[in-house]
């Protein structure tokens, strides 16, 4: 069961009030996807995860929390135009702006999950070009996290494999992962799944072109 209500929330940036969707209750049935997107019904509440003030354009998980970013950045062309990216959905714009803010105030891990959620919104909007573009951004951040050695549970190695496959980077996926083992049967089987799918798609493309 999912319940979403509307509440009047005061923006911490401009001080103006707007009505915003607020998640009251939800649940999940089944497992999350390989790219960590949650199962339903919670999956369909994504429009409540990050909110945008309609008056000034500030986005946050909680608009009324104390502002932690330079206001000048929110007036920049980079922020206002989403780096010049023309998204198919307003929700994708909101999540991309949230990602831009995270790059200014948080660690790479927070930026990664912010752009990953933007990826999901692009998928929902069938915005294939920007699904690939945002996945490439996520891959670059994942590389930085993996290289830092700060995260030791292999989740970013697995997430990168999923991002490579879904963005059509099959050659890179095979090159980096075909001989990789993580000494964990479940994780190694997930990698094998990605490699198998990559080869299947490459073979299908070869048949079509031949």
Residue 69 confidence (pLDDT): 84
Average pLDDT of the chain? Answer: 93
Give the number of residues written for the chain: 210
Q: Has residue 160 got a pLDDT over 70?
A: yes
Instruction: Evaluate if residue 151 carries a pLDDT over 60.
Output: no
Question: pLDDT digit string (tens) for 107-121?
Answer: 999 999 999 999 999
Taking alpha carbons only, the member of 110, 138, 102 closest to residue 123 is 138
Q: Which structural domain, as residue segments, surrounds residue 145?
A: 3-153
pLDDT at 3 over 80: yes
Domain count of the fold of the chain: 1
Please tell me the least confidently modeled range out of 8-17, 129-138, 152-161, 180-189: 152-161
Residue with more model confidence, 178 or 66: 178
What was the pLDDT predicted at 26? 87
pLDDT, average across residues 188-200: 95
CA distance 44 to 51: 15
> Rounded to a whole number, what is the distance in angstroms from the first to the last CA of the chain?
50
Q: Which residue has the higher pLDDT, 206 or 203?
A: 203
The answer to whether position 185 is within a domain reads no
Closest CA to 7 of 44, 62, 87, 67: 62
Residue 164 falls within a domain, yes or no?
no
DSSP string across 132-179 = HHHHHHHHHHHHHHHHHT---SSHHHHHHHHHHHHTT-HHHHHHHHTT
139: tokens are 């891959």
3 DSSP β-pair partners = 25
Q: How confident is the model at residue 150 (pLDDT cuts 50, 70, 90)?
A: low
pLDDT in tens, 9-64: 999 999 999 999 998 888 888 788 999 999 989 889 999 999 999 999 999 999 99
User: What span, in angstroms and rounded, lies between the C-alpha atoms of 89 and 93?
Assistant: 7
Is residue 196 included in any domain, yes or no?
no
Residue 192 in any domain: the answer is: no
Is position 197 within any domain? no
- Residue 79 to residue 58: CA distance in whole angstroms: 10
138 in any annotated domain: yes
In a domain, 208, yes or no: no
């Amino acid at each position: 069961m999912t319940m979403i209500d509307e509440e009047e929330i005061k923006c911490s940036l401009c001080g103006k009030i707007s009505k915003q969707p607020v998640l009251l209750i939800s649940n999940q049935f089944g497992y999350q996807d390989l790219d960590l997107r949650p199962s339903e019904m919670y999956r369909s509440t994504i429009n409540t995860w990050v909110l945008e003030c309609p008056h000034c354009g500030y986005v946050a998980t909680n608009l009324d929390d104390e502002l932690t970013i330079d206001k000048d950045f929110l007036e920049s062309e980079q922020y206002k135009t989403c780096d010049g990216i023309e998204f198919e959905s307003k929700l994708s714009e909101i999540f991309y702006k949230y990602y831009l803010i995270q790059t200014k105030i948080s660690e790479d891990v927070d930026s990664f999950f912010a752009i990953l959620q933007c990826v999901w919104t692009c998928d929902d909007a069938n915005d294939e070009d920007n699904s690939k573009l945002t996945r490439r951004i996520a891959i670059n951040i994942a590389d930085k996290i993996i290289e830092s050695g700060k995260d030791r549970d292999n989740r970013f190695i697995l997430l990168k494999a999923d991002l490579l496959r879904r963005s059509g980077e099959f050659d890179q996926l095979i090159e980096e992962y075909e001989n990789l083992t993580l000494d964990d049967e479940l994780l190694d089987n997930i990698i094998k799944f990605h490699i198998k799918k990559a080869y299947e798609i490459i073979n299908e493309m070869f048949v079509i072109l031949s």
